[in-house]
Amino acid sequence: MQPSIFDLTAKTALVTGAGRGIGRACALALAQAGADVALVARTRPELESVAGEIAVLGRRAFVRPQDVTRVGELPGLMEDAAAHLGGIDILVNNAGMNIPQEALEVTPEAWDRVIDLNLRAAFFTAQAAGRLMVSQGRGGRIINLTSQTGTLGLVKRAAYCASKAALNLVTKVLALEWACHGILVNAVAPTFIETDFSRGFLSDPDFRAYALSKNLLKRFGTPEDVTGAVIYLASPAAALVTGHILFVDAGWTAH
């Protein structure tokens, strides 16, 4: 039998924001595809729970509570994960946040918090992973979780849209610079996904109607709806794909 082109056996992955939502779903999907997974987030109990699920799948998990906005600690994070798992082949750069505010109400503090995690920490996480991958000499995959809001303007999301649009372009720059090292860099840009992260604003009937207004499938996504795109970009199936923004957006960008 021919091996699956989506098989990740003998690969190692690191997922940020891995304790819940999209990050948790991606970590489990990577393990189901055969990878060992380093789990990174701020809350240890959530990570330990995901690690237990990965163990049931017969894969190894490395748990590392870490605030990725403390960017000076990121090289050490990568080195520790690599030492435990035998290197890092895949980064899923998922940690993020949103503070919905009308543009007239955005505070400098709120703006800085969103940009600090969604853009600054995401870049330096990718940089730390990229340096490790270059030193390993075996290529790699970096997958940044951005958003449809990196391309489309949405109300109450000035800082969030700015952070995701910038990360889309950072993705392209890294793809340009690191292709010579065999490191492929892409982004996955979801629509509204029902998670703890989105529950607050999706519970508002008016915003819920707005969020579905250009959704061609007329349903919100689940974290599992995002994992197929991540596994594809991490796998041999995407060996000729880099610098790409893959929308998982129920048709929003078809308009």
Measured CA to CA in angstroms, residue 182 lies from 37, 109, 131, 139, 140 at distances of 21, 39, 12, 4, 6
Q: First CA to last CA across the chain, in angstroms?
A: 42
| Both structure tokens of 250 | 């129920």
**Amino acid letter at 222?**
T
CA-angle at 218, arms to 215 and 223, nearest 5°: 85
| Token pair 């969020």: residue | 211
β partners of residue 64: 40
The label of the residue with tokens 């819940």 reads 20
Q: How many residues does the chain have?
A: 255
Report the alpha-carbon distance of residue 27 to residue 224 in Å, rounded.
11
Would you name the residues annotated as active-site residues? 160
Q: What is the C-alpha separation between 82 and 211, in angstroms, rounded?
A: 40
Give the separation between CA 245 and CA 253, rounded to whole angstroms: 12
Beta bridge partners of 247: 189
Please give the structure tokens belonging to residue 186: 């892409």
